[in-house]
Amino acid sequence: MHHHQPNNPNSNSFVFPREDNRKKNSIKTLSEISYTNRKQHRIDIQRQSYKNKKNELLNQLKRKKETDHGTSNGLELDLSVGNIGVYLEQLSSLSNNLSQKLSAIKQCRMILSKCSSETLNDILNEYPQLVHVFHHHLTSKYSELQLESAWCITNIAAVRDDCVAFCISTLVQIISNSFIDIVLQEQCIWALGNIALGVHEGNILLSTVIVQNGAIPYLANIIRACRVNEVVKTTLWCASNIIKNELLHLHTQSEPQQLIWNSLGNLYEPIIYLLLKRQATDVEIIYELLFVLTYLTAIPVQFSDESHSKNFLSQMAQICVKYLKLQNCAFNVPIVRLLGNLFSQVNLFSLLDQTFAFELMNLLISLKDKNKEWCYMMSNISSFEEINEILVQNYSLIEVMNHIIAQDASSNDKELLREATIALINLVTANQNKHLTIPIAQLIAKQIAPNFIDDDSELNQQFKSILEQFCGYVSALFPCL
């Protein structure tokens, strides 16, 4: 794909304007195209897209922990529903010693690791007390018995999170104890990661219950301090599931969840620490850290004061520049999404040193994969009218967007076309770029609008509204057309 190399901005007289210099009389008054609303449209569209895919997505995010052994004493493992009843009796018997109970619970674990979802549901319907027995042994003083119980709960949660929701407080209590075996801690975190994607009775998010039980500070501490990579990866996966469930249900929440969101904000510090200060080297961990950071920037966290907010945004920019410079395509995806989220709330460039701001913009414009996420990010960046002249003259962003549209107008990637078009509208409705309005309006009429005329889906209704507002703006600006 064609990518435009920008002119050298440091030799030009342009500088990124500061936030306090932002024009008071923006084009919003003339065009009735609200930058804020456009950003909100994009967020709403994204939420609706998530809503449509929610059940499929949640099932994909859950993970069973497979047992290492498919056989027991050289015999094929019996996965029948009735067979687990035998082991349940052995676990419940007061006369059995520890070794007998361990043997029984390992058999249960192997069955739950290997059986199908249908069989697991049959087991739970036949033996509703099973989870309570596992929970009882989760509180045992024997760590091996606890580990096997946590493993069983993990695999049940992969299919029926509602059945194990009552285990949340115990699981959180175990991960809170830094003296407990790290393998047991990881298994409990894994269980919480599966449970986090569920919804309990009364439409209560289980992710919310996990946060309310105080899990986030313990997860944050493990992310920051643990040196075992696999444990860190599991913890990041758990944290991402908690955040995703909150985001996926954000549009259904009847009351503000600011306390929950602020608690999730405690994950920022250890992630920033690992990415900026400890110099994480494991590529998979860096990738997961960046994605959790991306999910976090999509929730409305409130900062204690303005200086804290500015310091946070500066650190975000440092992370983006640092990992964009590595030219690892896998890192580019979460970074572009992260910046798209940040620019939906604030003009990040106005808070940065001018040289650093241009360095970040140069890295972004030089990315080869100018996909829908890149266009989403640019549509939010271009919504700040005070920097549009720089985007147009220094980086030829209109030509870049025109090229993207020309290449993809005949494709089925409507989301890419939407975002590229919104960026174009932002650019040409800025006061200094009015002379570019007519050719862009003609481009939209000929190449963009036909793709959306017959599409009445909810995802396209807001975009059509934006196009109608832009047409009204063009008519008001050029009444003779």
**Tens of pLDDT, residues 4-54:** 333 343 333 345 544 333 322 233 333 334 444 444 444 444 444 444 444
SS3 205: strand
Confidence bin at 60 (pLDDT 50/70/90): low
**pLDDT surpasses 60 at 166:** yes
In a domain, 191, yes or no: no
pLDDT of residue 365: 96
In a domain, 93, yes or no: yes
In a domain, 127, yes or no: yes
Confidence bin at 95 (pLDDT 50/70/90): confident
Q: Are 223 and 270 in contact (CB under 8 A)?
A: yes
In a domain, 82, yes or no: yes
SS3 69: coil
Q: What is the mean pLDDT of residues 104-124?
A: 91
pTM: 0.83
Q: Name residues whose C-beta falls within 8 Å of residue 28's C-beta, 6 or more positions apart in sequence.
A: 34, 35
In a domain, 338, yes or no: no
Structural domain boundaries, residue 148: 64-164
Confidence bin at 179 (pLDDT 50/70/90): confident
In a domain, 83, yes or no: yes
Q: What is the mean pLDDT of residues 250-263?
A: 70
pLDDT of residue 65: 67
In a domain, 115, yes or no: yes
Q: Is the model more confident about 389 or about 454?
A: 389
Q: Name residues whose C-beta falls within 8 Å of residue 479's C-beta, 6 or more positions apart in sequence.
A: none
pLDDT of residue 281: 82
pLDDT of residue 59: 55
For 328-354, b/e burial (b = at least 16 CB within 10 A) is: eeebbbbbbbbbbbbbbeebbbbbbee
Q: Is the model more confident about 150 or about 5?
A: 150
In a domain, 241, yes or no: no
pLDDT of residue 47: 45
**pLDDT surpasses 60 at 356:** yes
Pairs from 73-79 (Cβ < 8 Å, separation ≥ 24) = 77/110, 77/111, 77/114, 78/111, 79/111, 79/114, 79/115, 79/119
**Identity of the highest mean pLDDT range in 159-163, 426-430, 433-437:** 159-163
| Number of domains within the chain | 1
